[in-house]
Every structure is written in structure tokens, then in C-alpha cells.
Amino acid sequence: MSPPLVVQKFGGSSVADADRIKRVARRIARERTAGNDLVVVVSAMGDTTDELLGLAAAITSEPDPRELDVLLATGEHQSATLLSMALHGLGVSAISLTGAQAGIITDGRYGRARIAGIEPRRVQAELRTGKVVIVAGFQGQSARASDDTEITTLGRGGSDTTAVALAASLGAARCQVFTDVKGIYTADPRLVAKARQLPVIGYEEMLELAHQGAQVMQVRAVELGWVNGIVIEVLSSFEDAPGTLIREDPLVEQRNKVRGLAHDRNVAKVTIVAVPDRPGVARSIFDPLAEAGINVDMIVQNVGHGGETDLSFTVPRVELALAKKTLEPIVRELDARDLTTDASVAKVSIVGAGLHNAPGYAARMFGTLADAGVNIEMISTSEVRITCMIAEADLETALRALHDAFELERPEPLDLGSDAAAVG
């Protein structure tokens, strides 16, 4: 019988320079000594992806999506090869593979490709020869045919998805995501000093936190983990400490409270002032936005006066310029008075699987923000969250006030129980 297989993923800050790469190599060597087979997924070193995007932007304002993906994929090639060399230096047999060589097939959409399938034959063959297999994260190739395949990337944070997808495809015993914090917290620990590390979080709650901006796990990685029943452990690459398990959480019903906060600065508000209040107007605004691939989120239409109404909605901040370009002709066509935008806003969300059938949470959230002097510009809700849009300048005040109001720093007795059950 082959030894248990472990998939480990190391994020950008964990492999930011040569010393950190060597430290990761030592950790891998230890795991190898323990007798496990290892597939290791790496992100690009430090801020490499941002730097490559900056280089492309310095060349052209509209880089060709195909060339941009080939460029971005090199970031992960660099870290994968260097980690492999570091392992060789420790006498550990290892090989680096690009996403394509690892058999990661995507749907071919540049910049936001989805994994369509994995053919892990090469990975398995290398494992059988006793090598640690290092896979460049965040990328795959567009088709199975060898002649006209293209390199495609999986969207920001996509190495998380590479790792969980490989763990599912290879039937790994563990999937560990090493990062620069000790696990999943009740809020971003960089903004909320009192944030508490959670021993366990359910897939549904983690998915919602990720959706609402907690960048610690890419949304699709959590989705893939959930669908395939992969327990994901998020932990620090800088210290040996227990992490957070993302898995099915049977305690959710009894807990019935806010589990964590998420925030998102990648948001902008668009308002169309005084549009005619008649059927078909919303369609003529949102159809073109959808065609342009722009993700519209919160939408508020005010009560109409004198046959006119204001329509506000949010779009990702990075898509604001495209949204404006798309809407300007439509605003003229509809004879609306004005198109205004505000990019200095942010979203803050409370997330918890018990929220939908527990009264009082919305009132508490709004009251807390009011007491903290934070104005709410828009509100949206789902079964597992309540989100408010506020001024970006108020974000940290809002997060700290909400963290206190919902007593998130206080460990729950049930957490202790599930911790023991999960880690022990």
C-alpha cells in the first residue's frame, strides 16, 4: 500500500524570499521524513503577481488577456522551481511541474478560468518514483489537445483552488493551506486586534466569509472542498501551532449566532440620478452590465417622485471604469439626469449560519453602527449574512464596534468541544 498523501499549499508571503523558500523546504523535508507522500502547491513569491500586473500596465492600458495569463503564470513557475532546488539542496528528491504538466485542465477563460478536470497521471508517476511533486498554483491549460492549448489563470488567490482540486483528484488524506496567519479568525486579524482564531468553521460560513471579502481562502477553493468533502486545514507557515479546520460543522444549529465578520474594499457605488420610473428601465441598465461581465451586487431603487427615481448599485472597484464606459451611453439614451460614482466605500458583513431564523441581529448591527457614528449607505441580506455599505474611512471603526457588540472574542463552549473532537 502506498503511504498517505498530503497536499500542502504555501501562499505568497510564505515563499517571499530565498530564506523563506528554504524554510518551507525544511518543513517539507520533515513531513517527508514522517513517511508521507507530498504534493506541494505554491503561489508566486510575495507581491510578484501585483508586480507583473504593474509591468503589463506600464506597457499598455489594455493588455491582451492571453499574453497577460502567460506572464502571470511565470510567477508561480519561479517559486515552484526554486522550492524544488531548495529541496534538492536538502537531499530530498523533488520535481516542479507547471499547472499544465500537472494535468490541470480549465475552461479556457483568461484571467478567471475554472478547473474543468484534472488528469494527474504525471503527478502520480512522479510520486511513485519517490519524489515530492511541486505544482505551480493558480494556472492550468485550456484543453486536452496538445497542439493548441493555452495557459490560463484561475483568478486572484487561485492557488488555494489548485490545492483543493488536487487533493480531491488524488484522494489526499489531508489538504493543508499554509499562510501568514494562524488560521481563520472571527475578523481579519490585521484590522481587529481582538479577533479570535476559530478551531473549526463550517463550509457554508467559510464560503460566505470568502464571498464577502475574507481573502484568506479563495471562494472556489471552499466550494470545491465542500462538494468533495475535503477537510481543509488553514495554518501558519511561520510557527508550529494548530490551525483552523474547514469542514462540515454539525454544531451550527445549536450555535445560532454570528460566527465572524468580513469586509471588502474592492467595491464602488454607482448611482443613476433621476431615471424615468417605468417598466424596462432596470433591464436596459443591467443587461449591458451583464454582457460586459460586470458583477453587480447590492441594488437599491428609491421610491419614485414625479415619474423619476434614483437607482444605486455596487460593482467591484476594479470594474468601475468599465461600468462607467458601459453606462454613459445608456444614461443619455434614458434621459437620466446624471451618473455619479463613489469608490471610497466598503462593505462590512456579519456572517453566521443561524442568522436567518434568529431575530434581532439586523437591529443590533444597525444600532451598533449608529452608536459608532457610522452611516449606512446600503444594506443587503442573505440567509447567512447581513451586509452594510459604509464609507471606507469608517471601516476599521465599524469592524471593531461590531466585533465587540457580537462578543466575538469570547470562545464558545461548543467550540472547545469541537476543537477536541477535530484535532485530537
Binding site for ligand ADP (CB under 6 A): 11-14, 43, 157, 179-181, 184-185, 187-190, 209, 214-216, 260
Nearer to ligand ASP, 82 or 336 (CB): 82
Which window, 41-49, 86-94, 111-119, 253-261, contacts ligand ASP (CB under 6 A)?
41-49
**Binding to Mg ion, residues 154-193 (CB under 5 A):** 157
How far apart (Å, rounded) are the C-alpha atoms in residues 217 and 206? 8
Nearer to Mg ion, 220 or 400 (CB): 220
Provide CB contacts within 8 A for 114, sequence distance 6+.
Answer: 106, 107, 154, 220
CA nearest to 182, candidates 20, 403, 402, 14: 14
Strand 345-351 to 260-264 pairing: antiparallel
Helix boundaries (H) for 40-129: 48-59, 65-89, 121-128
CA nearest to 317, candidates 389, 239, 257, 227: 389
Strand 94-97 to 132-136 pairing: parallel
Where does residue 295 rank: exposed (0-12), middle (13-18), buried (19+ CB within 10 A)?
exposed
Nearer to ligand ADP, 225 or 260 (CB): 260
Nearer to ligand ADP, 301 or 397 (CB): 397
**Binding to ligand ASP, residues 80-139 (CB under 6 A):** 137-138
Nearer to Mg ion, 234 or 268 (CB): 234
Task: Write the interaction track for ligand ASP spanning residues 151-170; mark x where CB under 6 A is met and - where it is not.
Answer: -----xxxxx----------
| 354 binding partner (options ligand ADP, Mg ion, ligand ASP, none; Cβ < 5 to 8 Å by kind) | none
| 325 binding partner (options ligand ADP, ligand ASP, Mg ion, none; Cβ < 5 to 8 Å by kind) | none
Which window, 7-15, 55-63, 299-307, 329-337, contacts Mg ion (CB under 5 A)?
7-15
Q: Give the three cell numbers for residue 398.
A: 465599524
| 139 binding partner (options Mg ion, ligand ASP, ligand ADP, none; Cβ < 5 to 8 Å by kind) | none
Nearer to ligand ASP, 16 or 402 (CB): 16
Q: How far is the CB of 76 from ligand ASP (least distance, A)?
A: 6
Residue appearing with cell numbers 517571499: 16
| 138 binding partner (options Mg ion, ligand ADP, ligand ASP, none; Cβ < 5 to 8 Å by kind) | ligand ASP
| 71 binding partner (options ligand ASP, ligand ADP, Mg ion, none; Cβ < 5 to 8 Å by kind) | none
Which window, 19-27, 149-157, 325-333, 384-392, contacts Mg ion (CB under 5 A)?
149-157
Q: Are 43 and 136 in contact (CB under 8 A)?
A: no
Q: How far is the CB of 218 from ligand ASP (least distance, A)?
A: 7
CA nearest to 249, candidates 201, 206, 287, 297: 201
Q: In what order do the strands lie in the sheet with 308-315?
A: 299-301, 308-315, 268-276, 338-342
Q: How far is the CB of 163 from ligand ASP (least distance, A)?
A: 9
User: Number of residues in contact with ligand ASP, rule: CB under 6 A?
Assistant: 13
Provide CB contacts within 8 A for 366, sequence distance 6+.
Answer: 376, 379, 388
| 199 binding partner (options ligand ASP, Mg ion, ligand ADP, none; Cβ < 5 to 8 Å by kind) | none
φ/ψ (deg, to 5) at 389: -95, 130
**Torsion angle in degrees (nearest 10) through CA of 156, 294, 322, 154:** 20
Nearer to ligand ASP, 28 or 45 (CB): 45
Residue appearing with cell numbers 518543513: 27
**The binder of ligand ASP chosen from 44, 73, 104, 198 (CB under 6 A):** 44
Nearer to ligand ADP, 187 or 336 (CB): 187
φ/ψ (deg, to 5) at 116: -95, -20
49 binds ligand ASP (CB under 6 A): yes
Binding region for ligand ASP (CB under 6 A): 11-12, 43-44, 49, 75, 137-138, 156-160
